[in-house]
A and B are shown apart, each in its own frame.
Chain A
Amino acid sequence: MLEQTLRILRNELWKAFYETAVMMGISFALSLVLGLLLGFALYLTETGAFFKNRALNSIASGIVNFIRSIPFIILVVFTLPLTFYLVGTKIGPVAASVPMTIAATVFLARLVEGGLKEVDDGVIEAALATGARSLLIVRKVLLREAAPSIARAVTVVFINLIGCSAMAGMVGGGGIGNLAVQYGYYRYETGVMVFTIVVLVVIVQISQHLGDYVASKFTH
């Protein structure tokens, strides 16, 4: 049995790792940028001191809520036409990273917005009183004061993405999660399943520690 497990892992593990890395790499990098931008947009269009725009804010907020209400596995199916349009295929890790990016972007945006809302109003008021323009306040006050909570938000989203990658894997993305399902679930290879669980636990633990460390570095 152990021999069987090792044989499967030897044949499949590196490919699975590679696929997961591609899915995670693309979707994490893109959602990091897009999620931060969207998060700031949600906050800035809602706040009177900056670029308050009720219409824009309602539209952005509505879209975020819409996407967040769709279970991820359904979102994968739902976005298939878009995926095909964007990357020219509906299967493989690159295709899987499309719905992953979308889901992670809106999730991160909400968390970033929440972090920004927690910045002390007094600090923003003091910054406004200096005569600073909005973009300077965004860069030097909001970003700095919200940095620890943004770091924690990014950690949560990254770990959430690992879960998404397993689900995306099932519908043709491949990856470590898929390995667990294909062998551990469908073929009763418990050894493979246990191994993948251990790998995922290690990745999550490391991510969380890294995230906490970065957050603490931003906190003074």
Chain B
Amino acid sequence: MSEIIKFDNVEVEFTRGSERFTAVGGVSLSIEKGEFFGIVGASGAGKSTLVRTINLLQRPTSGRVLVDGRDVTALKGRELSALRLKIGMIFQHFNLIRNATVFDNVAFALEASSTPRAQIAPRVVDLLRLVGLEDKIRLYPGSLSGGQKQRVAIARALANKPEILLCDEATSALDPDNTAEVVEALKRIKESYPITVVFITHQEQVARSLFDRIAVMDKGRVVEVGYAYDIFAHPKSQPARDLVARAADYELPREVLEREKDLFLLTFKEEHAYDAVISEVARRFGTDLSIIAGKIDYIRHKPLGVLLVSLRTVSERKRQEVLAYIRERACITEYKGASNA
């Protein structure tokens, strides 16, 4: 693998009146060719601003952005156009031309690359078939669902066979059904087409099902980078923990939380995900471990088990032994209720 995008100490500052505001502060990060790379973080963390420096919708205040080894930060005019042709982008609000048909919206990107007129129509049909919308070709965006609009935007973004696809909160304005529809379309494209995807989201579910690697951003900085699985299994930074905790938000009834004082969240990784740790503990220590909630998630086909358990009627010494035993086999954190888990 080789790196296709490299941020080198990228900084973006905005001036509002006399106030200076740092949206992105000194980010260095590499994205490998062919990766499905996720950038997650709360809104206002600087994710969009950072990603917009890749195709220069936002010029960095300082630092360099390298695409395919070439510094793009100073590009202008024709060269900038050429760079953007290699980089497709989709947006939270789809940003289709409202008064143009689905066909014209996709054809626009082909006209941007000066595609010969005769080749445009067959290529548009191909692209719309790729996203499963060839029957909507004569419609206007206004008569499409959100998921369909985003798929048209995907077709437009892929029109010039880009090497990179940027997705800025591409599913955040969609309901779960439409989100699934767009996620499926992206997965299918990723499988059939060697493209690097950089996907911004604050939705933990989307991150879980799509990303190879994840960068977690907070207040304009990247606080954690790693494989999606590792981040979900062992989040190290607080923002990453917040993201993962949202997945473990079981919304327990208040009575349960009040009754169960000694709650722990256990996370089992890969080989241990199927292990019978709980029954093992019960047998070995002769104690009760009550399971309050739990599930096994699959992150990029690898299992990640999460259990919320309560340690009951255990002496302090035994309690420590049990926790030590579990700690060897799983990641364990004390659970203090949904909001601050």
A125 part of interface (Cβ distance < 8 Å): yes
How far apart sit A131 and B79, CA to CA, in the bound complex (Å)?
10
Report chain A residues within 8 Å CB of B142: 220
A residues lining the B interface (CB < 8 Å)? 120, 122-123, 125-133, 136, 140-141, 144-145, 147-148, 218-220
Name the CB-closest residue of B to A218.
B99
A132 CA to B110 CA, complexed, in Å: 9
Contact status B89-A127, CB under 8 Å: no
The reply to whether B57 and A136 form a contact with Cβ atoms under 8 Å apart is no
Q: Provide the bound-state CA to CA distance between A122 and B140, in Å.
A: 17
Cβ–Cβ contact B112 & A220, under 8 A: no
* 6 pairs of residues in contact across A and B, judged by CB atoms under 8 Å: A120-B98, A122-B91, A126-B96, A126-B153, A129-B55, A131-B83
- Find the A residue at minimum CB distance from B140: A220
B108 near A127: Cβ-Cβ < 8 Å: yes
In Å, the complex CA distance between A218 and B133 comes to 24
Chain A min CB distance to B195 (Å): 16
Residues in B87-126 with C-beta less than 8 Å from chain A: 87-89, 91, 93, 95-100, 104, 108-109, 111-113
Residue in contact with B84 in the complex, picked from A123, A130, A144, A147, CB distance below 8 Å = A130
Contact A131:B95 (CB < 8 A) given known A126-B153, A141-B108: no
Interface residue from B84, B99, B166 paired with A220 (Cβ < 8 Å): B99
Shortest Cβ-Cβ A-B pairs, 3 listed: A131-B84, A132-B112, A126-B95
CA distance A218 to B97 in the complex (A): 12
For A120, A133, A144, A220, the residue with the greatest tally of chain B CB atoms inside 10 Å of its CB is A220
Our pick among A130, A219, A220 for the contact of B109 (Cβ within 8 Å) is A130
Determine whether B156 belongs to the interface, using a CB cutoff of 8 Å to chain A.
yes
Chain B, residue nearest A142 (CB): B97
Give CA–CA (A141, B98) in the complex, Å. 9
Q: How far is the CB of B262 from chain A (nearest CB, A)?
A: 50
